[in-house]
Amino acid sequence: MIWLVFALLTGAAVMAVLAPLARKNAPADASATDKAFFSEQIAEIERECAEGRLDPGDAEAARLEAARRLLRASQTGEKTSLASGKLRAAAAVATVVLVPVVALPLYLHLGSANLPDMPLAERLAKTPPHQDLSAAVAQIEAHLVQHPEDGRGFEVVAPFYLRNGRYEEAVHAFGEALRLLGATPTRHDALGEAIVIAAQGEVTPAARRQFDAALALDEKDAMARYYLGLGAAQEGESEKARDIWTKLLADAPSQAGYRDLVQGQLDKLSGGPAAEQPAATTAEGPATEQGKAIAALPRSQQEATIRGMVARLAERLAQKGDDVEGWLKLIRAYSVLSEPDKAKTALSDGKKALSGKPQEVARLDALAEQLNIGR
């Protein structure tokens, strides 16, 4: 496509130069005046001879001299016209040949004809470091006001809205991207998840419709299956939720990042390992030496040890709250210990402590959604 544009531009440049050369020059050459003068002189000789004011012999001599000069003026004019025509032709040929011959190698040396187009999302990714992200988003928003048919623009700003707590705008943007760009499992999942987050973790009927649509396009879609299981659990349909999540785990690759999340939900349904041994998997992370030591304690001592560790973690975060990993551990610990009020308080305190770090606040929000902690 770009070569067609270059060809048209080159053609326009050539025609701009050829147009003046194609027109005949308005100014007459110097011989035109001489020819008019000698023609008028011959006519005057004829009139004087007819009136008897000029001797026939003198008239003939004058007529011959005037005719000789007229002939010489005509020959000079023809030569000048021929030379001018040759110059115009040479200039036209030079224009047609030299403009493309010079321009094309120059562009190939300095330009980048094979550089691919950069979509909006990639242009944002190339935003200079000094440019504020909010300013970049504001530019996209202004662009979308003028071009509401740009689905890519909506798809770019939607995650920003979601990360910054602008949930209704995120739902709208994900919806517009889905409408304008077409249905895919990923777009249905994104819209469904945004609806869930806007509803403070509740899998609403509107969200369920999006996840059902994603499964209709891809029956193995993991996100849709997870949220549909979560919705069933919230409705009290434990067996249905267990069936969905069990099948999801069976289909999940061994390295899938969501395996622990799904297994945790199954354990909560059945009161399994996650509920029985929270310290080893929650307070200090899975398979740590400390977790193994706690697991080796008599069951009567495990809970007391775990609660002591959680209390010390909470005390440390109260003194120094800029540790996002610490807040994540504390929220998980309270959730596993079935203390939702404390988990909610930890979430609120953590967001206040990290208020100047929106990306870390977003991590707390994401965990709250996973654990269904009300805000």
- pLDDT above 50: residue 28: no
* CA–CA distance, 314 with 316 (Å, rounded to integer): 5
* CA–CA distance, 5 with 1 (Å, rounded to integer): 7
Average the pLDDT over 219-227 and give the result.
Answer: 94
Quote the Cα angle for 181-187-190, to 5°: 140
SS3 track for 251-297: HCCCCCCCHHHHHHHHHHHHCCHHHHCHHHHHHCCCCCHHHHHHHCC
**For residue 73, what are the CA distances in angstroms to 24, 33, 40, 68, 305?**
20, 9, 14, 9, 122
Please, what's the largest Cα pairwise distance for the chain?
154
- pLDDT above 90: residue 154: yes
The predicted pLDDT at position 138 comes to: 85
pLDDT in tens, 110-136: 666 566 665 555 555 554 544 466 778
Q: What is the mean pLDDT of the chain?
A: 75
- pLDDT above 90: residue 177: yes
Q: Which among 252, 206, 271 has a CA at the least distance from the CA of 262?
A: 252
Average the pLDDT over 163-172 and give the result.
Answer: 89
> What are the DSSP calls for 141-199, one per residue?
HHHHHH-TT-HHHHHHHHHHHHHTT-HHHHHHHHHHHHHHH---HHHHHHHHHHHHHHT
R_g of the chain, CA atoms, integer Å? 44
Q: Which among 321, 234, 7 has a CA at the least distance from the CA of 313?
A: 321
Q: Which helix (H) or strand (E) holds 236?
A: none
Query: Which contacts (CB < 8 Å, 24+ apart) does range 166-170 have?
Result: 167/194, 167/197, 167/198, 168/198, 170/194, 170/197, 170/198
Look up the CATH architecture of domain 277-375. Answer: Alpha Horseshoe (1.25)
pLDDT in tens, 299-318: 545 566 677 778 888 888 98
* CA–CA distance, 316 with 297 (Å, rounded to integer): 25
Average the pLDDT over 77-85 and give the result.
Answer: 54
The contacts of residue 296 (CB under 8 Å, 6+ apart) are none
For residue 124, the Cα-to-chain-centroid distance in whole angstroms is 6
pLDDT in tens, 230-284: 999 999 899 999 999 999 999 999 888 888 888 888 888 876 444 444 444 443 3
Neighbours of 148 (CB within 10 A): 12
The predicted pLDDT at position 309 comes to: 79
The token pair at 351 is 């967001």
* CA–CA distance, 151 with 32 (Å, rounded to integer): 69
The predicted pLDDT at position 87 comes to: 62
Per DSSP, which regions of the chain are E strands?
none
* CA–CA distance, 366 with 269 (Å, rounded to integer): 21
Q: Which helix (H) or strand (E) holds 112?
A: none
Q: Exposed/middle/buried for 362, CB within 10 Å: 0-12, 13-18, 19+?
A: middle
Look up residue 116 and give its DSSP letter: P
